Structure 1
């Protein structure tokens, strides 16, 4: 005998957050306004925005894997486009619609959760690690790699201790490591780095002690923007083997 039972209501489904939705455009505009502000220190991001090479991806939540495949595919396309036309400056900003109220430690944990998931997809697709960098997060030559291209990540969120790293939503900005090497080869890296440090000091009252040159200490310590001690251990582990 079939018994009629009441069907419990489904939980509300949060609408897809993407740049095709009209509600998402103000958030992208807010990020661009933040970068354009005189107090924003990163001259590289300003240059990318001015050149129209600052790309954006809107995603649901930093604590969800919902958009990880889409983010990874954008990273692969981004790397491919750079190899076809290796012009300075390029950045890919992934803006998440939540969660709200994250502490610095919570943001850091979720950032590395997303990084690990994205790296695992690179391994799953059988893509090589960029051989110009190390996959070991303890190495001073560490960088992430997607599609065979090395990336450096800058995290932004509302609760950052550094004013330059504050934004109304969680953001992960992916920058191509090769661009830093090109700047070094052109003799422009140190000048650009000093400009950023001076601007940051003017806003925050001090220079960011977490910033270090690639090859001096692991850049993994810089990604989230949180102040970490010498005992900090990066949670990332590359799963593609030791050949990297």
Structure 2
């Protein structure tokens, strides 16, 4: 796993600058960057699985760092994908879910358990992507994103541990942080994000790609165990 440093690649530096930009709305990502809790892995094309093992290993390191309790509240792992850029939001969303499905399937093949604090079923309001036994909320970024906060020059998936949001709730800090992010995002985009929903109110799956979808939207993700039984 590559922590941000002066020797970071050009792509990594560009992503760090994107997060550090004054207008970028996510204060959690800014806190992770400032505290050294934001790590970056560069991978091949979003449609290619050649780096899936590397990504899963990096996620394990991210979770271990969080649970060691070093005093850093925010830990995030950003995967910067090389190769062709999806032409639009729908294409990015399809490629994103295919990659997440492949990661979950490989994670299950490695024998990793499901995080007992989340659901692996995307229709559930408690859904989070469980990898290495830990639930994650995913933030997708790409050049064609309609929301300004979701734009970056190459396809990127940011993995955020669901457990750190639970810790913020226990400390009474979550609502304050969420309100600050929403206000900053609205100021940047000129309108509130219509896809925002709190964990437990509605499935977070519809928020992962950043594309606005309606109530008929269907998440293509299948829990790995269900997929194996159907095979």
Same fold (TM over 0.5): yes
RMSD of equivalent CA atoms: 1.9
Over 3 Å counting, the alpha-carbon distance change for 1:182 and 1:24 in structure 2 is closer
Residue 122 of structure 1 and its aligned partner are, at CA, apart by 1.4
Match of 2:131 in 1: 146
Match of 1:186 in 2: 171
Counterparts of 1:78-157 in structure 2 under 5 Å?
A: 78-85=62-69, 87-157=72-142
TM norm structure 1: 0.87
Match of 1:46 in 2: 30
Deviations 1:168-199 (A, max 9, x none): 00000000001111111111111100100010
CA distance in 2, matches of 1:207, 1:237: 30
CA distance in 1, matches of 2:99, 2:61: 18
Question: Are the aligned partners of 1:116 and 1:237 in contact in 2 as well (CA < 8 Å)?
Answer: yes
Counterparts of 1:1-244 in structure 2 under 5 Å?
A: 25-85=9-69, 87-241=72-226
Q: Runs of 5+ in structure 1 lacking a partner?
A: 1-17
TM norm structure 2: 0.92
Deviations 1:135-175 (A, max 9, x none): 11000010111111111100000000000000000000000
Q: Secondary structure of 2:40's match?
A: strand
Question: Are the aligned partners of 2:86 and 2:92 in contact in 1 as well (CA < 8 Å)?
Answer: no
Over 3 Å counting, the alpha-carbon distance change for 1:24 and 1:106 in structure 2 is farther
CA distance in 1, matches of 2:222, 2:47: 19
Over 3 Å counting, the alpha-carbon distance change for 1:241 and 1:131 in structure 2 is farther
CA distance in 2, matches of 1:94, 1:150: 17
CA distance in 1, matches of 2:50, 2:39: 20
Q: If you compute each CA radius of gyration, which structure gives the higher value, 1 or 2?
A: 1
- Where do 4+ consecutive residues of structure 1 move more than 4 Å? none
Q: How many residues align?
A: 223
Q: Runs of 5+ in structure 2 lacking a partner?
A: none
Match of 1:7 in 2: none
Question: Are the aligned partners of 1:79 and 1:146 in contact in 2 as well (CA < 8 Å)?
Answer: no
Residue 241 of structure 1 and its aligned partner are, at CA, apart by 5.0
Residue 77 of structure 1 and its aligned partner are, at CA, apart by 2.2
CA distance in 2, matches of 1:35, 1:116: 27
Q: Secondary structure of 1:240's match?
A: helix
CA distance in 2, matches of 1:194, 1:24: 32
Q: Secondary structure of 1:161's match?
A: coil
Residue 98 of structure 1 and its aligned partner are, at CA, apart by 2.6
Match of 1:9 in 2: none
CA distance in 2, matches of 1:210, 1:89: 23
Residue 60 of structure 1 and its aligned partner are, at CA, apart by 1.2
Question: Are the aligned partners of 1:24 and 1:58 in contact in 2 as well (CA < 8 Å)?
Answer: no
